[in-house]
Amino acid sequence: MHELGVTFHIMDQLEKVAQENDVERVRKVVLELGEVSTVIESYLQNCWTWAAKKRPLFEKAELIVETLPAVTYCEDCGKTYPTVEHGKTCPFCGSGQTYLLHGNEFNIKEIEVQ
């Protein structure tokens, strides 16, 4: 389960920012999670809940996850389509000459502090 490592990485980064800005408590963290990022939101939420109890800065911090849709671009016909629904094969022309435009992101979007 790499979600625990991801959780620790997020918290480590936020602890640095909090220290630089004299923040004593984080109330909420908003993450953008791409639909095909390989991070499972429910596992991430469970890891966050467990880890937040162990770090005073995040003791009561809420984790909000916003899912970003995965979109693929077809080089042959120039159209975009939903990746999860159609995979690598373009539903418009049947081409496999496609690439992911977005949907694998993992970003800290917003932090609310006390």
Sequential DSSP letters for 37-67: SS--HHHHHHHHHHHHTTSGGGTT-EEEEEE
Q: Is 74 annotated as a binding residue?
A: yes
Q: Is 93 annotated as a binding residue?
A: yes
The CA distance from 83 to 71, in Å, is: 5
Q: Is 77 annotated as a binding residue?
A: yes
Q: Is 9 annotated as a binding residue?
A: no
Q: Which two tokens stand for residue 24?
A: 């004593």
Q: Is 2 annotated as a binding residue?
A: yes
Q: Which residues pair with 66 in a beta bridge?
A: 32
- Residues annotated in a binding site for Ni(2+): 2
- Residues annotated in a binding site: 2, 74, 77, 90, 93
- Residues annotated in a binding site for Zn(2+): 74, 77, 90, 93
